[in-house]
Amino acid sequence: PGGCRARPVTVGTTVRTERVHVAGELLSLLPPTAGLAWLRRGEGLVGWGEAARVDPGTGDERFLRAARALRALADDADTHDPVGRPGTGLVAFASFTFDPRAPGSLLVVPQVTLGRRGRVGWRTTVGAGGAPELVASPLAEHHGERIRSAGSSLPDVAWLEAVAGAVHRIAAGELDKVVLARDHTVWSRAPFDARVLARRLAARFPDCWTFLCEGLLGATPELLIRRTERRVASLVLAGSAARGADPDEDRRLGEDLLASKKDRHEHELAVASVREVLAPRCLRLRLDDEPSLLRLANVQHLATRVSGTLGEDATALELAGALHPTAAVGGVPTEVALRVIRELEGMQRGRYAAPVGWVDARGDGEFGIALRCAELDGARARLFAGSGIVAGSLPEDELEETWWKLRAMQSAFQA
């Protein structure tokens, strides 16, 4: 496994948090490039500049290496934080690769972080350079260029064959579930503005967590873990259906999803994978007795809410590492599912379907699973969607499900 490399803050560097009035959209305060964001319903964090960067390397230990590096950064800093809330003081944005073998995980401490929760706003600066005035910059409403398709790593027919192969291996008893994903690349003649895309996602999916981290952009409906002191929470999603064209069809599709044995089985596997990690770490753990429907603009999911009280001093970052990959994005058993994904998927996931979020020096933080997302690279963007495969899955149905999910990100590229 790869080791950890850090570009640290200078020993004794001042980290200063102060209350400020943060008006308007947090996204509009970001610079045109290299911004960081984690937002939901107008609240959350944005950051820019780079006070420190950690490359935690590869392997399952990369989460623990990142947590240790952040702890070392905090120990070396001179922190003044009279606000004392989750997300104040030294804070880092983080994004990890799905496959532990793949490089590309990172943790970034911004020079400037702005936060807002309820009526409380704050600004944290790292270093002696001071903070700029809070001046919003206008965001262009129209990209001005036609968006073109560049295809997928695996053509539709080949992806259908991959799903059929996974179903065969499940029927043979090799595994219970595997999630297979696919990508779709789009491009334009002009570079994409991540702030504009994030703004559209936040407006169209207000119940999701909109994130931006080193070119990874998305709006995830799935909260992997939130830690606030000793309290933890998670939102497990697995099992999906389209939205209906009218209220009657929408209600019927939702009722069919709730009654589907195949989708309920897929969902139960995902819930069990979260319970198995959190239960031994919690004094108390509460889960919904039955899944409910989470309805989003383009898709509805089976959802189970999890909450608990920690019995040990685990940070949000360490909990995210222990949970990843849940059965909602990997499969059961985990190691077998990872092997099947590598053999059948036909692409590198990068940071898709892996933890993305933020953590502060106290260990509080929020991490989602990087779903309905895209990797931006100038004028190119690689979009992702996946589907859970279990016994009885029909390849054509699973392909259609990925198209529903891809539409969420595709809509952000349309003015």
Backbone CA torsion sign across 84, 369, 56, 198: negative
CA distances from 281 to 289, 309, 323 (A): 20, 9, 12
User: Which residues are paired to 388 by β-bridges?
Assistant: 179
Helix (H) or strand (E) holding 80: strand 78-80
CB atoms inside a 10 Å sphere around CB 60: 12
Tell me the three state secondary structure of residue 70.
Answer: helix
The DSSP secondary structure of 327-378, one letter per residue, reads TTTSEESHHHHHHHHHHHS-S--TTTTSEEEEEETTS-EEEEE--SEEEEET
**Of these residues, 25, 214, 222, 266, which one is catalytic?**
222
φ and ψ at residue 61, rounded to 5 degrees: -80, 0
| Element counts in the chain: helices (H) and strands (E) | 8, 24
Find all residues with CB under 8 Å of 296, minimum gap 6, and list them.
Answer: 205, 207, 208, 221, 243, 408
Tell me the three state secondary structure of residue 307.
Answer: strand
**Of these residues, 177, 214, 398, 405, which one is catalytic?**
177
Nearest to 43 by CA among 125, 120, 135: 120
**Per the structure block, which two tokens stand in for 73?**
């950064």
CA distances from 20 to 120, 134, 136, 183, 262 (A): 8, 9, 15, 41, 50
Q: Is 222 a catalytic residue?
A: yes
**Per the structure block, which two tokens stand in for 359?**
């953590």
Q: Is 312 a catalytic residue?
A: no
Catalytic residues: 177, 222
